Amino acid sequence: MGDLSERKYKVLIVDDSETNRAILNEILSGEYIIAKADSGEKAVEILKRDQGEISLVLLDVIMPEMDGYDVLEQMNRLGIIDDVPVIMISAESSPGFITRAYDLGAADYVSRLLRLPWSSVAHVIHINIITELLLKQLMKKSSKYDLSMTDIRLISTASSLHDIGKIAIPDEILNKPGRFTPQEYEIMKTHSEIGASMLKNLSEYQNAPLMKAS
């Protein structure tokens, strides 16, 4: 697994908000090479220029002129959407927005309205990236598992759901900067059971590939 520790993967952050770009850069720059774009047009330019170098795109949805969906459409036209996973990060959380992102090839969709602090959003991103990289390395080093790129992307996306139960944890506990009290820790530990229950209650989606991977 030496390749994982020796190589720094390149992440493209696309957001018209300088604050959001700065926060994500601060969170990720220690472990990844960062490229930034403040518009969809610049993002497409970087993707064309650095083809083969970008390992992940963190893409805002609402941007002037060329929005996140336009970027996804351009990535489809360029034939790189299957090679470069895209995680949408947006304040929009309506089903229509999310469905359209997945239809255009996004690997995951993280809503800022889930009340998760930026450190938790970064954790979701880390889990998604690391899961995909580990599975790719596994396929190189072992013939025991026959996983297609579709399988790898599906498992990586499903891994992002592991903390979904945190949306039911009170803000004062979830965002507490210091150590938890024993009582707070017991409440925090329930997020895994809550998450499992939430997924089980989505009965109409139980046969969907993503749910099976979860």
What amino acid is encoded at 162 in this protein? Answer: H
pLDDT at 4: 45
Residue 5: its pLDDT value, please?
Answer: 46
Q: What pLDDT, on the 0 to 100 scale, is given for residue 195?
A: 77
Tens digit of each residue's pLDDT, the chain (214 residues): 344 445 578 899 999 988 788 878 877 877 789 999 999 999 999 999 988 889 889 999 989 889 999 999 999 999 988 888 898 888 777 778 888 898 999 888 876 645 455 576 667 777 777 788 788 888 877 777 788 877 887 787 777 677 777 777 887 887 787 888 999 889 888 888 887 787 777 665 566 665 566 5
pLDDT for residue 113? 47
pTM flag (> 0.85): no
Report pLDDT for 115: 47
**Among candidate residues 57, 62, 125, the one with its CA nearest the CA of residue 90:** 62
* pLDDT computed for residue 37 by the predictor: 94
CATH number of 8-114: 3.40.50.2300
Q: Domain residue spans in the chain? A: 8-114
Predicted pLDDT at 208: 63
